[in-house]
Each structure stands twice: as structure tokens, then as C-alpha cells.
Chains A and B, each alone.
Chain A
Amino acid sequence: MWVRCVLALIGAALIAPATVHADDTLPSVLISRQLSEGEHLAVGDVIRLSASDNGSNVQSFRIAGIYEPTPDPARLGAVIREVQLHLPDLLGLTREPSAPSGSEYVQTINVALVDPNDADAFSRDVRARMPGIDAQPASGAAESTGPFIVLRRFHLAIAIVTIVASTVFLLALTIMLVDERRAAVGVLRLIGLPIRRILLQLFLEGLLIAVVGSVFGLALSLLSEGIINRFFQWRYDTTLVFVRVTPQVAAVCVAIAIPLGVSATVVASWALLRRNGLRLARR
């Protein structure tokens, strides 16, 4: 079992590449890409690791491979210098000399179930049978992480302010657009078209503009999604995804934008149509 090793913080200072030689008796490790690039290490190199800050109990390992660390938002900005060892090797490296073999412990055991839908039931079962052990479904763990719930609320607050500003903009635009048609609307009223008929016309126009605008907005968001992700992935040297326009997000945006656009047109038009046709037709 590969176990993440927190030696990186200590051991990275003590890693020293030795002469590359094919030594099949040495235990193998994987190192993160960032560690490989930072210390100029390659597959086949032999490194020495120690778990203590005075460099005691040094052991040699051969680099069997270089991996890309799983992106972790909690470690954004950090340079991931990691080494992954076989568990027995890690325990051998970190065991106190006086501690008897077999008394070690691990922090976490990751379990892959035959049926992932059994995660909740399995977790409850483990907790019931083994007091002192906490078992949680992996999907729930992400949602329960406090900082990201807070950030989601923060982004929602920003989104609300943006929607308010957009609504104001939209109203201003629709008032101007409708005002430009004032003379034409006035003439239609004068020749006898009822308000409802004209309002329907304006409603359909507003709907068309709102739909086209929403499609354009979605296209723009997909484009900017790519640009933002690429920029921040380069900036932070990570494969983390920062922006994701999911079908649900797109649906919510369209569900807000279209009614807003149509409502703004109707509100702007209604204020105009209440005026006398003759006044509208006069310049």
C-alpha cells in the first residue's frame, strides 16, 4: 500500500542523489514531479531519506517513478515535494528505535468498495463495530470541508451583487431601446392596435434578445473557463480545476438571465405604453 509521506518537509532537505547505479536490492519510491524538478532527480536515481532533523537513521531508496500529485485546493500555492513509500518502508524509517515492531499506526485507511453506493452503510457499520474509529464516505468529506463551504457562500454573495448590477444595466438598456421605438409605438397606438398586442410584440422581442444573450453569455463563460483554468494552473503549477461550468450552473444562469431580460423589457415597455399615443408619436 502506497502511503503519503509527510517526510517531504523534513526529508527534502536531506535528499541527496547518489551515483546512479542499478541496485535492485534497494526499496523503491515514487517522487512528485515538483520534487523531481526542484532537486533535479530522475527515475533510477538513488536518494537517502531520514525522518529526523539531525539526519539520523538514513536509508537509501531508488526512484522507481515520478507522479503528478492529486491536486489539493487546501495546498494551493504550495510546492508539493512528496515521496511515496511502501508502508513497511515508511514504518521502518519512522519507527522510534525503542518502539517494538508492530506498534506503529497509520492515520487513514482508504477503502474501495465493490459497490460505491454502499459507502454510507459501510461507514456506519465500521463506526458501530470499532469504537474510536471514524469512517466517512469520501464524497461527503469534500462537502464537509469548512473553507470550501465558506468560499462557496462568498462566491454566491459576489454573484448576487453582479446580478443586481446586471439587472440595473439591463433595465437601462431596455429603457433606451424601447425609447428609441417610441414614435413607432405611438403610431401603432394611434392607428388602433391595443396595448396588449404591442406588449406581446415587445415581449417576444425581449425574449429573443434574452435567449440570444444567454447563449452568447454561456459561450463567453465556456471560453473564459478555459482561459482562467489555464492561467491559474500555470500560475500555481497545478492540475486543479478552478472554474467549471457544469450543466447545472449553466441551467441556473439561463433560468435567471432569461426571465430577467424579458421582465426588464416588459417593465420598460409598460411604462412607455401607459402614455398617450399622440405624445409618443410626437418628436
Chain B
Amino acid sequence: MNAMGFAWRSLVRQPARASLGVLGVAAVGALLFDMLLLSQGLVISMRDLLERTGFDLRVTATDALPGQGPLIPNAVERTQAISQLPSVHSAIALRFANAVVLAGAPRGVYTTFQGVAGTGAAHPWTILRGRDVTAGRPEIVINENTATRTRLDAGSRVMLRASCNGQEQALPPVPFTVSGIAQFPFDSPNGTTIATSLQMLAAACGGNETNEADVIMVASQERAGPAAAVSDVAKLLPDLHVLSNAEAVNRFERGGFTYFRQISTVLTAVTLSFAVLLITVLLTVSINQRLGEIAALRALGFSRWRVVADVFCESVLIVGGGGLLSLPVGALLAIGLDHILKRIPGIPADVHFFVFQPSALQIHLLLLSATAIVAALYPIRIVSRLPIAATLRDEVVG
């Protein structure tokens, strides 16, 4: 009987203890797996989302994030100039404001309000029903939440009151036609969003500042790549700040996202310590109860390495069994935890905190393997240094 077979028989000899060991490892292993998913999940998800918009550069007036800093003056001309660079495929200017859509509720429905200008570029939203807005016409696209709450659809006419630049203004309501229902990539699950052309947004905001934008979004030519486009745009407009998707993700990582990486590191350390402690105690107590048998086996001719291998294989079986079970448990737990965290206000619906990556699975397996080894070290020390004769004597006396 080889060491693994022997270890298996030793474990099933105490089924309750072995099962609890496996379950314990499964529980902590699930948490460990989830923390590994969390450590990079948000960053990966945000990166995917940024790339899915089709734009890989963002140009702002300062290093503040889009919508949090001053407006870019002469945005339309600058957008056109950027779009003509050889390394650039297309560019659009985007401005953010707020609006109250006077429909669906007595005081209207509060929404975010986007205005877009650009030549020949796709808009940063996807039309689900109806059609996109036409530049120069008082048309808006609205998202599903807005459509539901205002009971509007493609073709509806509506009045809305804009609120721009965060100022308190008493702007008159302006008529628009809903041209289509759209999906906005950065919408939160309950978010309400509407969008139109930059010109129409400026008109709704009082007619001033018609040529200003919060951000210019740029798509680079595939053959040139974002780095070349960043360089070209920076040379063309040295007074503006250019950020590639990768740099934006880096900023998120250094900012609010860092909390989740820190907590995942702390919890990873805690779960690993817990697992090592659990297995070490299980194996040590089990071996202490079998010292006589082990001494007898050594007396019969079993080598030191053979009894060490038996102990190690027991550790591998407990951690291996628990580790395998931890994957489906961890997956279910991740879905639940993701569901909780996605309720943070402002988190886009398409962003996830727990994202599966093969590297997380590899690290998980590596960490569990290390756990099996470390947890077995003390029990292995006991059996490898077991004084055979003294143990046999103690067993008789005991």
C-alpha cells in the first residue's frame, strides 16, 4: 500500500474529523479564492468597460477625472483637430450636466445629461430601440430606467429643465423628442441618463458655453496604438491633459480601488493562517493518538521517509479535498458578495468586483499547496524524530 493509499485509510478511519477538516478548508479556501478574485477584479472589470466603449484616450483640462475639473474651451475645434491626427481614428467631445425630465412624476425625474459632438465617430452609447440623435435637432436618447420612470419611448415629446456647471440656475424648460432608447456603459443599475448633441445641451443650459466640454474621448488607429495617439495629442494640445485607458485604470488602482486590494490582502493572510492552523492541529492530534502504531511500523522496518510521506499525504488529501470543494463554494460566494458590493452608489452596472482570471486559480492552487506543506511541517517533525523504543515503552506503560 503506497503512502497516499495509507493516508486515505488513516483519514477514513476518523470520518467525522476528516470531513470537518475538509469542510473547514473548503470554507476558508472559498474565502481565499474570492479574495484573489477581488484583488484585481475591479481593475480588470473597469479596464474591460473602458475598452468596450471603443475609446482608448481621454483628454481633460486638468488631471482631474472627467466631470470633476474645469471645462475644455474650444472643444469642438480641438476635437476636430485631434480627429485629423494620423494616429487617431476618431474623437468626440463630451459634456456632463444634469436635468429634470418633466414626465412620469409630479416633480419630474432627475437624470444625468450628456452632450456629444464629433465628426464620424460612434457615440458612447448603444441604441436599443429607435434611432440615435441627429446633430442640431432637439432630440434625446434615454436609458431604460429613464424610459420606465418617465413612461416615455421612442417618438415621445418631452420637456426637460437642465442644470449645468453645478450652479443653481432657474433655466426654462426646453422641448425635446425622444429619438431612441439607449444603453450607457457607465450607468449604475438604478441610474437615469439622457443624452443629446453638445449643441442642444448647451442650448438647454442657457445658450452660453456652446463650445465647451468636460472631456474629449479619442479612439486611436489600430495600427498606431494608444501610446502613439497620447504622444500626438499631447504635442498638438500641450495645455490639456491626456490619459490613456491604462493610465486611467492605474489612477483608479491608486485611488478608491486600493481599499479592495488591501482588504483582500489582509483576508488572504488571515484565511491562510487559519487553514494552516486547522490542518496542523488536526494532523498533530491525529498523530499523537497513533504514536504507538507509528513506532511499531518503524520497528517493523518502515523508513523515516515513509512515515513522513504518510503524514504529508494526509495533509495533501485534506487540503486537496477541501481545495476542490472550495472552488464551487467560492464561486457561489463571489456571486453573493459581488451582488452586495455592486450596490455601492455610482458603480456602473457592467462593473464587477469579483472577476475570474486563470491567474487567480493558479495562485489559489499554489497557496493551498503551500498550506498543505506548511501545515504538515510540525506533525512531520514529530514522526521523523519519534524515538521508536521509548515510544513503544511508553505505550506499554500508558
Contact = CB atoms under 8 A, between A and B. Distances in A.
Interface of A: 9-10, 13, 52-53, 76-78, 105, 146-147, 150-151, 153-154, 157-158, 161-162, 164-166, 168-169, 171-173, 175-176, 179-180, 228, 232, 235, 271
Select the residue from B24, B281, B286 with max chain A CB neighbours within 10 A: B24
B256 interface: yes
Nearest to B166: A107
Interface string B242-268: 000000000000111011001000110
A105 B168 contact: yes
A156 B292 CA distance: 46
B157 interface: no
A165 B24 CA distance: 5
Interface string B178-212: 00000000000000000000000000000000000
B25 to A, nearest CB: 9
A172 B344 contact: no
Contacts, number: 92
B16 A175 contact: yes
Nearest to A271: B16
B337 to A, nearest CB: 6
B20 interface: yes
Contact of A168 (B24, B262, B336, B340): B24
B70 interface: yes
Given A153-B340, A180-B285, 17 more contacts: A9-B68, A52-B70, A77-B254, A77-B256, A77-B259, A153-B343, A158-B31, A164-B27, A165-B24, A168-B23, A169-B24, A169-B274, A171-B20, A172-B17, A172-B21, A176-B285, A271-B16
Interface of B: 14, 16-17, 20-21, 23-24, 27-28, 30-31, 61-62, 64, 68-70, 168, 254-256, 258-259, 262, 266-267, 270-271, 274, 277-278, 281-282, 285-286, 289, 333, 336-337, 340-341, 343-345
B20 A168 contact: yes
30 contacts: A10-B62, A53-B61, A76-B259, A77-B254, A147-B344, A150-B340, A150-B341, A151-B344, A153-B343, A157-B336, A157-B337, A157-B340, A158-B31, A158-B267, A158-B337, A161-B31, A165-B27, A165-B31, A165-B271, A168-B23, A168-B24, A169-B274, A172-B21, A173-B281, A175-B17, A176-B285, A179-B14, A228-B266, A232-B262, A235-B262
5 tightest Cβ-Cβ pairs between the two chains A and B: A165-B27, A172-B20, A146-B345, A168-B24, A176-B285
Nearest to B28: A165
B344 A77 contact: no
B256 A76 contact: yes
A76 B259 CA distance: 8
A167 B293 CA distance: 31
B341 A154 contact: yes
A166 B258 CA distance: 28
A69 B202 CA distance: 37
A9 B285 contact: no
B62 A176 contact: no
Contacts of B344: 146-147, 150-151
**Most B CB within 10 A of own CB, among A146, A151, A162, A176:** A176
A271 B20 CA distance: 15
A165 B28 CA distance: 6
Contacts of B271: 165
A209 to B, nearest CB: 14
Given A161-B30, A165-B31, A172 B24 contact: yes
Nearest to B398: A283
A158 B336 CA distance: 11
A157 B339 CA distance: 11
B375 to A, nearest CB: 13
Given A9-B62, A10-B62, A176 B17 contact: yes
Nearest to B18: A172
Contacts of B259: 76-77
A169 B375 CA distance: 14
A20 to B, nearest CB: 28
A146 to B, nearest CB: 4
B340 A53 contact: no
B163 to A, nearest CB: 13
Contacts of A176: 17, 281-282, 285-286
B10 to A, nearest CB: 14
B276 to A, nearest CB: 12
Contact of B70 (A10, A78, A154, A271): A10
A162 B24 CA distance: 10
A105 B69 CA distance: 20
Contacts of B285: 176, 180
Contacts of B281: 172-173, 176
A175 to B, nearest CB: 6
B282 A161 contact: no
Contacts of A169: 20, 24, 274, 277-278
Contacts of A235: 262
B6 to A, nearest CB: 20
A11 to B, nearest CB: 11
A172 B286 CA distance: 11
Contacts of A180: 285, 289
